[in-house]
Structure 1
Amino acid sequence: MDITQTHSWRELEALAGQMQHTHLRELFANDPRRAERYSLELPSFLLDYSKNLIDDEVFVNLLQLAREADVERWRDRLFTGVPINRTEGRPVLHTALRGSGVADLSCEGQSVAVAVATELERLKGFVNLLHNGALTGCTGLPISDVVNLGVGGSHLGPQMVIEALRGYRQGGVNVHFVSNVDGAQLADTLAGLNPETTLFVVSSKTFSTTETLTNARSALRWLDPLADRDELLRRHFAAVTASPARAQEFGIEADRVFRFWDWVGGRFSVWSAIGLPVAIAIGFEGFRALLDGAAEMDRHFQQAPLEQNAPLLMGLLSVWYCTFMGYPAHAVLPYDQALHMLPAYLQQAEMESNGKSTTRSGEEAAYATGPLIWGQLGINGQHAFYQYLHQSPAVVPADFIGSVAAGHGLPGHHEILMANMLAQSQALMNGVSNDEVVAELQERGLDEAEVSALAPFKVHRGNRPSNTILIKKLNPHALGALIALYEHKIFVQGVILQIYSFDQWGVELGKGLAAALQPKLECGDLREEDASTARLIEYYRRVKAGTAAAETTG
């Protein structure tokens, strides 16, 4: 089925044209109960989606679009392990990592529930030993610092979660992250650490990621003075991977190789053993609470009717704006310092999933798919790019995310923070009309000429849509629910747009080209390269050779 030929798609195309000439002020004025009707109160947070450019007719047709796209059947296939990732021929089972889905589900002849429970128990035992000081380095000193070596989903999820749950840290073990193959990051991290008390966790799904293994080998060299290679790998390394044999070939002891599976996508893997750094930072019980929060959102996604289903509604709104209204970007604006990494995390999760132009039928998509995701902490953004949000010709829908409970005990701060969040969403919605600007300037005593000259610059059109997610308290359970909310939103977008959300061929292309170009930075024939790449490599070689010669003569 071509989704663009459905009745709801054609209706929404027509409604989008009409809605371009409708203002949010009108929608609220015409419906005193709008905020109540277009909001959902879930156990961990309130989702207010009333400040969106939709009316009841749009809402009904969006729900019908979800039905015509067969979202409910695709959702059931997701949770029951049907291989919905057809381009890679495997199921998508990150929900099973938090205990959701069919209890007796099996994959590759193995009980998924048993495999997950076994690995979680291994994780728990390792974390307890680490917190109890029973894990020691080569010299007998207990491990005090853990450095996670990973990239993409193998680092961004765990690091975001740890930053978000700083107030829930347990134990005396510090967790650090190195993702960049630029040696500066590893060097800076190691500069403040003691080799005798440092453990490295090598996180790589394939255990062949160039950046991660390069960092691992450099970390091993840093430890060299302590002991021989085998002893260093035995006492100072652990691994998290879907390829345990490769980790053991590298030299890491089998009992320190923690497994996740091929059916877990990297950007959805924080729930697996990839979350080992999270369990170390906040304790295993905190990690379990994170999983439980996500499982709660899984149940909501599975059981709530479409019109009250938070992930489904957020996915529909994203499709409405990007595909029908022509708004190609979406801003994520957390008003909570703990969530400062959330925009980057969601940027990867959504853009790596739905940044596609080929439909499930193998045809080129005739419509826009996923939006550009960007953003940062709200208060910082107000003094950076909010000018663009308020007065640029471009319309950028946004998610405002804040917490009722402050993550600190400083009086007065949180009220200022929350007032700013509410004010910004209100200002984006309402704007300031020319008449209001003129009245304000006249009240200030400006003469007619001054008012006429200044007024156009102070007009804000408003009508900028947004969601607001107001979390009761940002704890492990609530964070798990929030992340899962966005995961399922992404899934809904992909189903409606008829794309495969769980492959990443665009990432693989760049990796292959980099591997071929790396040796050419030193030497080799460049005639097969395009003119730009060849010139850049020639320049790189020339400058590097000149620098080396200058250092030698100097």
Structure 2
Amino acid sequence: MQSLTVAPFIRDSFESFQKSACGITLDIGRQRISQKELLGLIDFVKEKRTIESFNEMRQGKIVNPSEGRSALHTSLRDPSPEAPHAKEVHETLERFCKFADNVRSWKWRGSAGDRITDVINIGIGGSDMGPRTVWNALRSARPEINLHFLASADGVVFDRVTSSLDPYKTLVVISSKSFKTQETQANAKEIFDWLLKAGIRHEGFKNHVAVVSARKDAAEFFGLPKDNYFPIWDWVGGRFSVWGAIGLPVAIALGSDIFRRFLAGAHLMDKHASFTELQNNLPALMAMFAYWNTVKLDVSSFCFLPYDERLRTMVDWLQQLEMESLGKSTKPDGSPVVGKTSLAVWGGHGNESQHSFYQWLREGTAKTAIDVCWCKKPGHNHKELNKVLMANAKAQTEALITRDPGSKYFNVISTLTLDDLTPERLGALMALYEHKTTMLGTLFGINAFDQPGVELGKRLAQSVYQSETN
């Protein structure tokens, strides 16, 4: 077999290939690019005005031309009174944090005077994946208030969630931007029936249901007081929305102080992305190499491998974030995109996945971009378990790049090490991937903020439902 020329690893050419910010260290040493190619790539990123475009987004420029909207998820965690929409953002944050505090301190009780022990989040897409990811990462082993999720219109999930709960001790948060989402409507109807069957009358729903929506009449839509309504806005896309009132269930279950720290960590990453030079800018570097791997190395998928149970559900969150944002084949002007714009996103818990699909990664017929993520400080006191887990993380990271140099198949790997999985670090990590994604939209020349394919599917499903109902 004829030997192929494979680009050297960055670590073969540079001493400094680790970059740190906000408690996160990014190691790009196992990315494949020559010094000359890297300099050209940096020039390309500058020519595309990547950082300037990011800052224009933060300032409120229309960056979603198909819908004529800004994309201001960064404003949801910006404490500055000068941030776009600061007044309404801060007022809403204070309202839902106070609501969360009242539930946790037993000031807010169920219709029969019971304290709330469980919260059900009804929502799908970003209204589900964002809160689910934060909850899984930051929850304690024995939480004071448990958080449950109803996303799909699947009665099996509904029964498994509700069967062990006491309706009189349960608070339901229904989240939908427009309340036109079929799955959310169906789950809301079922949950109301569940409350009624338990003997909770309509007038008692106000103690058990809150709504989060861009519809100002959402509370009245469900026959609830206006105080049970918390707004979101059309200038924040669903997959970027956990930082606002979509995060209400998390604020209740974890505490408003935890939620505010989560926002603070994300804001630190926002500032880092805005003001740090390209060579040390974590999201810009990640976007840069993702672009290179997609366009120049013909990598076909991106695999996220967390070596930490708390980050397991980030795989699903990342999948929506990147594939919904970057799954486009046309530019904003309608012209076709040349080449690929995104990679298939997948992954799993790293240690478990070693015994599942690592064989395919290690010796299969594909080119894969991989992010391996772990925390220096474990979320437990089992030293031997952590020692084994970290040994596997570091060994497998190296094993996954060791290939026959003559093979046309290979992996490119970055590692992300968190000093600790605090609310601040989680906020920074999730913001890091948000910024990587929106910067990739700039590099590819596509609109990262609309989702026409998703909307088409919703319309078709509604049409089929109506035809079968009639």
Please give the range of the TM-score, normalised by the shorter of the 2 chains: over 0.9
Match of 1:77 in 2: 56
Letter paired with 2:413: S
Q: In structure 2, how many angstroms separate the alpha carbons of the residues matched to 1:81 and 1:260?
A: 16
**In the alignment, structure 1 residue 129 sits paired with structure 2 residue 113:** no
TM-fit CA distance, 1:168: 8.6
Match of 1:96 in 2: 75
Letter paired with 2:78: G
Cα contact 2:97–2:248 (8 A) shared by 1 = no
Distance 1:78 1:282, change over 3 A: same
Letter paired with 2:442: V
Match of 1:22 in 2: 6
Q: In structure 2, how many angstroms separate the alpha carbons of the residues matched to 1:461 and 1:494?
A: 28
Letter paired with 1:22: V
- Secondary structure in 2 aligned to 1:86? coil
- 1:438-479 residue CA offsets vs partner (Å, 9 max, x unmatched): xxxxxxxxxxxxxxxxxxxxxx98852100001100110000
TM-score, normalised to structure 2, is 0.95
Match of 1:455 in 2: none
Match of 1:143 in 2: 116
Letter paired with 2:118: D
Letter paired with 1:322: T
Task: Indicate which of 403, 421, 433 corresponds to 1:486.
Answer: 433
Q: Structure 2 matches for 1:277-426, cutoff 5 A? A: 277-426=249-398
Range that drifts further, 512-521 or 318-327: 512-521
Number of residues of Structure 1 aligned to a counterpart in Structure 2: 468
Task: Indicate which of 457, 460, 469 corresponds to 1:513.
Answer: 460
**In the alignment, structure 1 residue 255 sits paired with structure 2 residue 261:** no
Q: In structure 1, how many angstroms separate the alpha carbons of the residues matched to 2:109 and 2:254?
A: 20
TM-fit CA distance, 1:198: 1.1
Letter paired with 1:104: E
Distance 1:335 1:24, change over 3 A: farther
Cα contact 1:148–1:203 (8 A) shared by 2 = yes
Q: In structure 1, how many angstroms separate the alpha carbons of the residues matched to 2:191 and 2:282?
A: 44
Q: In structure 2, how many angstroms separate the alpha carbons of the residues matched to 1:169 and 1:79?
A: 38
Letter paired with 2:41: L
Considering fraction of residues, name the structure with more helix: 1
Distance 1:462 1:422, change over 3 A: farther
Cα contact 1:38–1:49 (8 A) shared by 2 = yes
Q: Structure 2 matches for 1:522-533, cutoff 5 A? A: none
Cα contact 1:233–1:253 (8 A) shared by 2 = no
- Secondary structure in 1 aligned to 2:396? helix
Q: In structure 1, how many angstroms separate the alpha carbons of the residues matched to 2:405 and 2:4?
A: 17
Range that drifts further, 226-235 or 184-193: 226-235
**In the alignment, structure 1 residue 476 sits paired with structure 2 residue 430:** no
- Secondary structure in 2 aligned to 1:50? strand
- Secondary structure in 1 aligned to 2:371? strand
TM-fit CA distance, 1:344: 0.7
Cα contact 1:85–1:503 (8 A) shared by 2 = yes
- Secondary structure in 1 aligned to 2:51? helix
- Secondary structure in 1 aligned to 2:168? helix
- Secondary structure in 1 aligned to 2:320? helix
Match of 1:212 in 2: 184
Task: Indicate which of 6, 23, 26 corresponds to 1:44.
Answer: 23
Q: Gapped runs of 5+ residues in structure 1? A: 1-18, 107-111, 435-459, 524-554
Cα contact 1:400–1:468 (8 A) shared by 2 = yes
Q: In structure 2, how many angstroms separate the alpha carbons of the residues matched to 1:169 and 1:157?
A: 21
- Secondary structure in 2 aligned to 1:46? strand
TM-fit CA distance, 1:20: 6.5
Q: In structure 1, how many angstroms separate the alpha carbons of the residues matched to 2:188 and 2:373?
A: 36
- Secondary structure in 2 aligned to 1:263? coil
Cα contact 1:151–1:212 (8 A) shared by 2 = yes
TM-fit CA distance, 1:55: 2.2
TM-fit CA distance, 1:279: 0.9
Letter paired with 1:293: G
**In the alignment, structure 1 residue 56 sits paired with structure 2 residue 56:** no
Cα contact 1:297–1:481 (8 A) shared by 2 = yes
- Secondary structure in 2 aligned to 1:358? coil
Q: In structure 2, how many angstroms separate the alpha carbons of the residues matched to 1:65 and 1:94?
A: 26
Letter paired with 1:166: R
Match of 2:447 in 1: 500
Letter paired with 1:45: I
Q: In structure 2, how many angstroms separate the alpha carbons of the residues matched to 1:519 and 1:61?
A: 54
TM-fit CA distance, 1:72: 2.6
- Secondary structure in 2 aligned to 1:258? strand
Match of 2:156 in 1: 184
Distance 1:426 1:521, change over 3 A: same
Distance 1:225 1:344, change over 3 A: closer
Match of 1:456 in 2: none
Range that drifts further, 45-54 or 320-329: 320-329
Q: In structure 1, how many angstroms separate the alpha carbons of the residues matched to 2:395 and 2:8?
A: 15
Cα contact 2:263–2:424 (8 A) shared by 1 = yes
TM-fit CA distance, 1:233: 2.4
Match of 1:159 in 2: 132
Q: In structure 1, how many angstroms separate the alpha carbons of the residues matched to 2:220 and 2:281?
A: 44
**In the alignment, structure 1 residue 119 sits paired with structure 2 residue 92:** yes
TM-fit CA distance, 1:105: 4.4
Distance 1:238 1:389, change over 3 A: same
Letter paired with 2:87: V
Letter paired with 1:365: V
Q: In structure 2, how many angstroms separate the alpha carbons of the residues matched to 1:484 and 1:320?
A: 21
Q: In structure 1, how many angstroms separate the alpha carbons of the residues matched to 2:272 and 2:4?
A: 32
Letter paired with 2:117: S
TM-fit CA distance, 1:142: 1.6
Distance 1:250 1:401, change over 3 A: same
Q: In structure 1, how many angstroms separate the alpha carbons of the residues matched to 2:317 and 2:225?
A: 31
- Secondary structure in 2 aligned to 1:41? strand
- Secondary structure in 2 aligned to 1:325? coil
Q: In structure 1, how many angstroms separate the alpha carbons of the residues matched to 2:405 and 2:83?
A: 58
